[in-house]
Chain A
Amino acid sequence: MSFRTIDELEAALRGADYLPDRGLSTALFLSLALEKPLLLEGEAGVGKTEAAKSLASALGARLIRLQCYEGLDVAHAVYEWNYPRQLLHIRAAQEGTVSEAELFGPEFLIRRPLLEAIDTDDPVVLLIDEIDRADEEFEAFLLEVLSDFQITIPELGTIRARRRPAVVLTSNRTRELHDALKRRALFHWIDHPSIEREVAIVKLRVPGVHERLAAQAAAFVRELRALDLAKPPGVAETIDWAMALNALGRQEIDADVVEQTLGSVLKYREDIEQVRDETLSALVDSARTASAR
């Protein structure tokens, strides 16, 4: 499936239960149109990973995800040989009848996400999540793969992509990425959504939620983000929290219920204590007023 305009893509994303702002729709659209990887950065919880998942479902493509971590290597990102099977195979065969070509053939290959994304005929969205966690050596390797869309396995030869996967990279900026990688990609910074969009997201994701509850929850989370917290809540937290409040049968928030459910919005003890001690009822009031406007 392909999209001729940004509006078309936006509509398809909405169909996949994702409400992007215009900037993100433009970024995803350009990434498809120019066939360039898209690097998404932003605070934790603004929906970077979710964007890639929704793109896949809007495209009717398979999502292949590579979660990065320190020490991620070729064996876990690209391919690995199935050593136990190889060993059994040699043992089972008559001595001297197994050739090296047979032993290192496709049936003994374990395919990891990058190889999977390149060696396929299906449309694919390749999500390379939290690339900043991988070592710099791996980043250099990835750069190579993303330039040529080919992978070389010494025993089998070079495998070329028959169709280029759409590529989305996310980073939490725990370190700066290589300039070369940035040059290769389009860049989009995702901000926290506007209040209207966050209310819309909550209503979309929490079926049956009361209009007023959605508005107050979004307004309250917005107040929290303005505080000086160790981890300001993201959209995911707003959704979780609205779900909890909805499950409690609430139609609006008050200081008591916020106190009970604060743990689904704030994930650090210091943050919860800070909000509890000083500001909780003032925040609730101000959120209720803001959402009533």
Chain B
Amino acid sequence: MSTGDAITRHVVTFGRVLREVGLEVGPGRVSDALRGLDAVELTRQEDVYFTLRQTLVSRHDELDLFDRAFLAWFLRAPVLPPVRLHQHEQPVARVVDVPVDRPRDGEGGATDGEPLELGASGHELLREKDFAEMTPDEFRRLRRLIQTIALTRPRRASRRRAPDPRGDLLDMRRLLRRSLRTGGDVVDRTYRARKVVPRKLVVLCDVSGSMDSYARALLLFLHAVVGSGPGVEAFAFGTRLSRLTPDLATRDPEAAIDRCTEAVVDWGAGTRIGASLKQFNDVYGRRALSRGAVVVVVSDGWEREDPDLVGREMAKIARAAYAVVWVNPLKGNPEYQPLAGGMCAALPFVDRFVAGHNLRSLEELAAVLAGIERRHAA
């Protein structure tokens, strides 16, 4: 066997190792890696490393996995087996949900679904019922309703334009072509207008112990929001922050929630709101994820540690965001006063403060999101 063949086999197998730890390594990438190795000196380990890395990896967060695999495979270093990035197996329990999803396949499934079977009065009752008091069965019926609500998204005018007779900018290309016939005189005017596109939406959801009874309902809501189109980012936090967007991006809400509970390790543990918001600002805020976005924080405001940190980090979020909404399920109680330390510290930076303890209050939230205006500096 020639050296070339040996290298090819080596790289192809290495590609398989990377796929096994969760990297997306298709045949195109492997062929790039081989072409790359052809062009560089194989005697220099550094060059081989970078050539493989630059052709086989396309995301910053995969570099660590790659490094470990490279060490293990090419240098035969004793390292821990790399962890899996994504779990592709579906939980068996998902099968149970199939009948519930079926109406979606038919025409008009969204309105023929089980919410109507409730009848008007059942429907109304469900809307008012506190999430914390719902039975699992009621919970399932809630799903479709929540999906409809989540479709309402804040919007903004895109910079891109499309032909529109009520537009505000002349469509010069069309206009000129038409005016050829009239020797340069403009007879009928054609316009272009800005398209309206969904505004970026960032949802940060508290899933700590004190929020436990609401977390599942809010996750359903988050799932539906992520499914409503591009530009939605969802996070959960308790003692620290986890990004949920990839886990919520499946069509089956129950499976999505299962994946989330796996992803969020500290589900139902204590709350460090300030530290979690700080983590958001440091990692995602710096990447301008929240710039121009509507940021929704869902939490009861019970901070275990330093309430001042909550205030400082909320100030940062408010500076970057288009508007900030705080959803607090406790606000559903008419007796409620925002006395929790974290809540007090956060409120000065919040544009809209809403409840979120039942379906009706989620509808209100959706209405708030749809009509939200830019926060005005005091």
Which A positions have Cβ atoms within 8 angstroms of B?
5-6, 22-23, 26-27, 29-30, 33-34, 36, 39, 41, 70-73, 81, 83, 86-87, 90-91, 95-96, 98, 100, 103, 135-137, 172-176, 179, 182-183, 185-189, 228, 230-231
Q: Which residues of B contact A137 (CB under 8 A)?
A: 160
Binary per-residue interface labels of chain B (221-233) against chain A in the complex, 1 for a CB within 8 Å, 0 otherwise: 0000000001000
Q: Chain B: which residue is nearest A133 at the CB level?
A: B288
Contact of B60 among A41, A71, A81, A179 (CB under 8 A): A41
Is A174 in contact with B32, judged by CB distance below 8 angstroms? no
Q: Are A90 and B183 in contact (CB under 8 A)?
A: yes
Expressed in whole angstroms, the Cα–Cα distance for A96 and B180 within the complex equals 8
Interface residues on B, range: 35 or more
Q: Using Cβ atoms and an 8 Å threshold, which residues of chain A touch B173?
A: 81, 83
Contacts of B143 in A (CB 8 A): none
Q: Which of B32, B59, B230 contacts A34 (CB 8 A)?
A: B32
Which residue of the partner chain A has the closest CB to B176? A86
Contacts of B39 in A (CB 8 A): 29-30, 33-34
Please give, as numbers and ranges, the residues of chain B lying within 8 Å of A23 by CB-CB distance: 46, 50, 53-54
B160–A71 touching, CB < 8 Å: yes
Q: Which of B35, B54, B158 contacts A188 (CB 8 A)?
A: B54
> B125 at the A/B interface (Cβ < 8 Å)?
no
CA distance A29 to B54 in the complex (A): 11
Question: Which chain A residues lie closer than 8 Å to B316 at the CB level?
Answer: 230
What are 23 A-B pairs with beta-carbon distances under 8 A?
Answer: A22-B47, A23-B53, A23-B54, A26-B40, A26-B46, A26-B47, A26-B51, A29-B40, A30-B36, A30-B40, A41-B60, A73-B160, A81-B173, A83-B176, A87-B176, A87-B184, A96-B183, A103-B177, A135-B158, A172-B288, A173-B60, A174-B288, A179-B58
* CA A174 to CA B293, docked complex, whole Å: 12
Among candidates B57, B230, B289, residue contacting A187 with C-beta atoms closer than 8 Å? B57
B27 CB to nearest A CB, Å:
11
A100 vs B173: C-alpha distance when bound (angstroms) = 12
State whether A95 and B183 are in contact (beta carbons under 8 Å apart), knowing that A30-B39, A41-B60, A174-B289 are contacts in the complex. yes
Q: How far is the CA of A5 from the CA of B26 in the complex (A)?
A: 27
Contact of A5 among B41, B51, B287 (CB under 8 A): B41
CB distance from A86 to the nearest CB of B (A): 5
Q: Determine if A182 and B176 form an interchain contact, defined as CB atoms under 8 angstroms apart.
A: no
* Closest CB in chain A relative to B36 CB, distance in Å: 5
Which residues of A lie under 8 Å from residue B40 when comparing CB positions? 5-6, 26, 29-30
Contacting residue for A103 out of B159, B161, B176, CB 8 A: B176
Contact B24–A179 (Cβ < 8 Å): yes
Contact flags B50-83 to A (C-beta < 8 A → 1, else 0) = 1101110111100100000000000000000000
Cβ of B279 to closest chain A Cβ, rounded Å: 11
Q: Which of B26, B60, B161, B287 contacts A183 (CB 8 A)?
A: B26
Q: Bound complex: CA of A26 vs CA of B289, how far in Å?
A: 31
A186 near B54: Cβ-Cβ < 8 Å: yes
Q: Which of B55, B159, B282 is within 8 Å of A30, CB to CB?
A: B55
Cα–Cα, bound, A23→B50 (Å):
6
Q: Is the CB of B230 within 8 A of A71?
A: no
Q: Are A172 and B179 in contact (CB under 8 A)?
A: no
Residues on B with C-beta less than 8 A from A228 are 282
Cα distance A171–B133 when bound, in Å?
A: 47
The verdict on B141 contacting chain A, using a C-beta distance below 8 Å, is no
Residues of B within 8 A of A87 (CB): 176, 179, 184
Question: How long is the Cα–Cα vector from A136 to B258 in the complex, in angstroms?
Answer: 30
Q: Hey, which chain A residues are within 8 Å of B288, CB to CB?
A: 172, 174
- Whether B123 sits at the interface, judged by CB under 8 Å, is no
B127 located at the interface, meaning its Cβ lies under 8 Å from any Cβ of chain A in the complex: no
Bits for B31-50, please: 1 = Cβ < 8 Å to A, else 0: 01001100111000011001
B331: Cβ under 8 A from any A Cβ: no
Does B216 lie at the interface of the complex (its beta carbon under 8 Å from any beta carbon of A)? no
Given A83-B176, A183-B29, residue A175 in contact with residue B289 (CB < 8 A)? yes
If A30-B51, A173-B287 touch, whether A186 touches B184 (CB-CB below 8 Å) is no
Chain A residues whose C-beta falls within 8 Å of the C-beta of B57 in the assembled complex: 187
Q: Which residue of B60, B158, B177, B289 contacts A189 across the interface (Cβ within 8 Å)?
A: B60
B352 at the A interface (CB under 8 A): no
Question: Within 8 Å CB of B41, what residues of A?
Answer: 5-6
A88 — nearest CB in chain B belongs to which residue? B184
Q: Which chain B residue lies CB-closest to A76?
A: B159
B143-165 vs A, Cβ < 8 Å mask (1 yes, 0 no): 00000000000000011110000
B window 115-145: CB within 8 A of A? none
Check B291 for interface membership: any CB of A closer than 8 A.
yes
Q: Which of these, A86, A172, A179, A185, contacts B287 with CB under 8 Å?
A: A172
Decide if B58 touches A187 in the complex (CB within 8 Å).
Answer: yes
A81 surroundings in chain B (CB, below 8 A): 172-173, 176
In B283-302, the 8 Å CB interface with A consists of: 286-289, 291
Contact of A186 with B32 in the complex, beta carbons under 8 Å: yes
Contacts of B180 in A (CB 8 A): 90, 98, 100, 103
**How far is B60's CA from A39's CA once the two chains are assembled, in angstroms?**
11
CB-based contact A189/B63 at 8 Å: yes
Do B50 and A22 touch across chains, with their CB atoms under 8 A apart? yes
In the assembled complex, the CB of B26 is this many whole angstroms from the nearest CB of chain A, namely 7
Flag whether B371 is at the interface (Cβ < 8 A): no
Please indicate the chain B residues that have their CB under 8 angstroms from the CB of A98 in the complex: 180
Question: Which residue, of B26, B50, B60, B230, has the highest number of chain A Cβ atoms within 10 A?
Answer: B50
A174 partner, pick from B24, B63, B291, beta carbons under 8 A:
B291
Residues of A within 8 A of B59 (CB): 176, 182, 187
Partner of A27, one of B32, B50, B177: B50
B4 at the interface (CB under 8 A from A): no
B28 proximal to A (CB < 8 A): yes
CA distance A99 to B58 in the complex (A): 50
Q: Shortest beta-carbon distance, B241 to chain A, in Å?
A: 16
Contacts of B47 in A (CB 8 A): 6, 22, 26
User: Is B179 a contact partner of A90 (Cβ separation < 8 A)?
Assistant: yes
